[in-house]
Structure 1
Amino acid sequence: MLIGPMTPTIFKPINWEYYGIYKRYQKVTLEDMTVLDVNKEAFDVIKEYAEHVVHKLDVGLGLIIKGPVGTGKTTAAVAIMKEAIQNKRSPYFISMISLLDKLMSLRDQEERYEFEQRIKNCSLLVLDDLGGEYIGKDKDESFMLKRIMSIIAERNQRSKSTIITTNLKIKELKERYDERVIDRLGSTNQIITLSGPSLRREEWREL
Structure 2
Amino acid sequence: MEEIANIIQQKVMIHTAGLDLQCKICSNCGTPIEHVITFNGVPRKVATNCKCRAEAYKKKLADEANQERLRKIEKLKVCSLMDEGFRKCTFENWEHTKESEWLYNIGLKYCENWKQAKEKNQGMLLHGVPGTGKSYLSFCIANYLIDQFVPVIATSSINIINKIYEGYGRNGELGELEIINLIQEASLLILDDLGAEHSGRSGKEKQIIYSILDARIRAKKPMIITTNLNVQQLKEKLTGSDGVARSFDRIVEACQPLEVIGTSRRIKKAADNQRCFKQLIS
TM over 0.5: yes
Corresponding residue pairs, total: 197
Per-residue CA deviations over 1:157-189 (Å, capped at 9, x if unaligned) read: 221111101001111111111424323322321
TM-score by length of 1: 0.81
What's the counterpart of residue 254 of structure 2? Answer: 188
Alpha-carbon shift at residue 191 of structure 1 (Å)? 1.7
Alignment RMSD (CA, Å):
2.9
TM-score by length of 2: 0.61
Deviates most, 102-111 or 165-174: 102-111
Aligned to 1:37, what secondary structure does the other structure show? coil
Aligned to 1:32, what secondary structure does the other structure show? coil
Alpha-carbon shift at residue 203 of structure 1 (Å)? 4.0
Higher helix share: 2
In structure 1, which of residues 18, 23, 31 is the aligned counterpart of residue 84 of structure 2?
Answer: 23
Contact 1:94 1:127 in 2 (8 A): yes
1:19-168 maps to which residues of 2 (within 5 A)? 20-107=81-168, 108-109=171-172, 110-136=174-200, 141-168=202-229
What's the counterpart of residue 172 of structure 1? Answer: 233
Aligned to 2:223, what secondary structure does the other structure show? strand
Deviates most, 162-171 or 16-25: 16-25
Contact 2:209 2:247 in 1 (8 A): no
Alpha-carbon shift at residue 99 of structure 1 (Å)? 1.3
Runs of 5+ in structure 1 lacking a partner?
2-11
CA distance in 2, matches of 1:143, 1:115: 15
Runs of 5+ in structure 2 lacking a partner?
1-26, 28-66, 240-244, 277-282
Aligned to 1:163, what secondary structure does the other structure show? strand
CA distance in 2, matches of 1:83, 1:20: 16
CA distance in 1, matches of 2:176, 2:248: 25
Letter of the aligned partner of 2:84 in structure 1? Answer: K
- CA pair 35-71 structure 1, distance change in 2 beyond 3 A: farther
- Determine what percentage of the aligned residue pairs are the same residue: 26
